Amino acid sequence: MSAPNKSYDPVEVEALKPEEIERMRDEALAAFAAAGDLDALAHAKTAHTGGTSPLALANREIGALPPQAKAAAGKLVGQARGVVSKALATRQAELEAERDARVLVEEAVDVTLPYDRVPAGARHPLTTLMERVADVFVSMGYEVAEGPEVEAEWFNFDALNFVPDHPARQMQDTFFVQGTTPEGTATTGDESGVVLRTHTSPVQARTLIDREPPVYVVCPGRVYRTDELDATHTPVFHQIELLAVDEGLTMADLKGTLDHMVQALFGADMKTRLRPNFFPFTEPSAEMDMLCYVCRGESVGNPDRPCRTCGSEGWIELGGCGMVNPKVLIACGVDPEKYSGFAFGFGIERMLMFRHNVEDMRDMVEGDVRFTRPFGMEI
């Protein structure tokens, strides 16, 4: 280190000229004022108060001054540095206050929001619709009855008066469950005598075998047919079956029950109509239609008011029905001389489609909550 130089004139030291010190000070003040956030201020702080900042370097020059010049130069630089560090502290406090205010707004937490963000699913509309239909009958005194989905061919067909070569029994319509012969080899297809039920009607036979009339049951359930999945078919679908067996039941009771059901589900002015049809297990049999719940029949012969829901037919086909065939009663041990009964069955998918304008059945089976959620938590 060089010794103090007595002939050293402070005015000659460029960095210690009062205008220079003022400039350094003012530049620092300007930089702090210009710093828009705490990061920028940190940079300005290093640049203007750090070890290599102009004022720090100027301060270092003081040590080399002659003693008589040191005091004045020290005061000059010291004051400037004092002003600068005060301005820095003020700006720091300002920017911190701004940041705190912003964070309070931006990161505010609404403590009244529900804490459970796990999205709730919804019950499937097929389930809720099935329960809704079953409830209509439960409120009339019917009981809910169920049967197995893997069903004996006898219950699915024979007990219901399907002749042995009825086309519905063929493998292109019915899923046969592979079985094992007494010798232990696998049975091929239709030899097994076990099927996935193709309708809920076998529950009729099971109920009649299990219970003594009077019998009033509603049977919701899943059924299977060998259809490809497309917009209007699905190999797994749902039906609701109704069976009433009692003394003196007639077709008028069937009609009245159907009318009550559609009124309960679709409105008080609803009604049904029956068209002759054939089912092996009912005689006479009918196809049942309900009045179109959208146009209420008003689109018929009225080209100004076409109805997409019923194709301007005025009626929507719902399912099959009829008086229980005495052969079924006999097969299930019920005296047809004493008892008569009626039955009907229909598909829930179809009802969901026209009741809620679902256009593609695949939406019902894909399990996407975006389909089920809009139906809400109907219970």
Of these, 142, 216, 266, 279, which contacts ligand PHE (CB under 6 A)?
A: 279
Q: Please report how close the Cβ of residue 331 comes to ligand PHE at its closest, in angstroms.
A: 15
Q: What is the CA radius of gyration of the chain?
A: 45
DSSP per-residue letters across 319-340 = EEEEEEPHHHHHHTT--TTT-E
**Dihedral of alpha carbons 314, 347, 240, 322, sign:** positive
Q: Check residue 321 for interaction with ligand PHE (CB under 6 A).
A: yes
Q: Check residue 261 for interaction with ligand PHE (CB under 6 A).
A: no
Please identify, among the stretches 55-63, 254-262, 317-325, 363-371, the one whose residues bind ligand PHE according to the rule CB under 6 A.
Answer: 317-325
Please identify, among the stretches 10-18, 141-149, 169-177, 337-345, the one whose residues bind ligand PHE according to the rule CB under 6 A.
Answer: 337-345
Q: Check residue 339 for interaction with ligand PHE (CB under 6 A).
A: no
Phi-psi region of 162 (alpha: psi -120 to 50; beta: other; left: phi over 0): beta
Of these, 319, 332, 352, 358, which contacts ligand PHE (CB under 6 A)?
A: 319
Q: How far does CA 39 lie from the centroid of its chain?
A: 46
Distance separating alpha carbons of residues 332 and 216, to the nearest angstrom: 15
**73 touches 16 (CB < 8 A):** yes
Of these, 174, 234, 272, 282, which contacts ligand PHE (CB under 6 A)?
A: 282
Helices H, strands E: what count in the chain?
Answer: 12, 9
Please identify, among the stretches 64-72, 109-117, 139-147, 315-323, the one whose residues bind ligand PHE according to the rule CB under 6 A.
Answer: 315-323
Please identify, among the stretches 2-10, 50-58, 74-82, 320-328, the one whose residues bind ligand PHE according to the rule CB under 6 A.
Answer: 320-328
The size of the interface with ligand PHE (CB under 6 A), counted in residues, is 12
What single DSSP character describes residue 51? T
Given the complex with ligand PHE, which of 340 and 372 has the nearer CB atom? 340
Q: Please report how close the Cβ of residue 233 comes to ligand PHE at its closest, in angstroms.
A: 14
Provide the H-helix boundaries in the chain.
18-34, 38-49, 54-62, 67-106, 125-138, 153-156, 202-210, 251-266, 326-331, 348-356, 362-365, 369-372
**276 touches 285 (CB < 8 A):** yes
Please identify, among the stretches 4-12, 298-306, 326-334, 339-347, the one whose residues bind ligand PHE according to the rule CB under 6 A.
Answer: 339-347
Q: Check residue 152 for interaction with ligand PHE (CB under 6 A).
A: no
Of these, 161, 201, 257, 340, which contacts ligand PHE (CB under 6 A)?
A: 201
Of residues 165, 175, 167, the one with CA closest to residue 195: 175
Q: Check residue 203 for interaction with ligand PHE (CB under 6 A).
A: no
Q: Please report how close the Cβ of residue 151 comes to ligand PHE at its closest, in angstroms.
A: 13
Task: Please report how the helices 54-62 and 67-106 are oriented relative to each other, as an axis angle in degrees rounded to 10.
Answer: 160
Non-local (6+) Cβ contacts of 311 within 8 A are none
236 in helix, strand or coil?
Answer: strand
Given the complex with ligand PHE, which of 44 and 353 has the nearer CB atom? 353
Q: Check residue 314 for interaction with ligand PHE (CB under 6 A).
A: no
Of these, 169, 345, 371, 372, which contacts ligand PHE (CB under 6 A)?
A: 345
Q: Please report how close the Cβ of residue 113 comes to ligand PHE at its closest, in angstroms.
A: 49
Length of the chain: 379
**194 touches 151 (CB < 8 A):** yes
Q: Check residue 320 for interaction with ligand PHE (CB under 6 A).
A: yes
Q: Check residue 220 for interaction with ligand PHE (CB under 6 A).
A: no
Q: What does each C-alpha distance from 48 to 19, 56, 86, 87, 96 come to in angstroms? A: 17, 8, 13, 11, 20
283 annotated as belonging to a binding site for a ligand: yes
3-state helix, strand, coil in the chain (%, to 5): 45, 20, 40
Q: Please report how close the Cβ of residue 242 comes to ligand PHE at its closest, in angstroms.
A: 7
Given the complex with ligand PHE, which of 53 and 285 has the nearer CB atom? 285
- 153-182 residues in contact with ligand PHE (CB under 6 A) are none
Instruction: Give me the residues that bind ligand PHE (CB under 6 A), please.
Output: 199, 201, 241, 279, 282, 319-322, 343-345
Binding-site residues for Mg(2+), in ranges, read 283
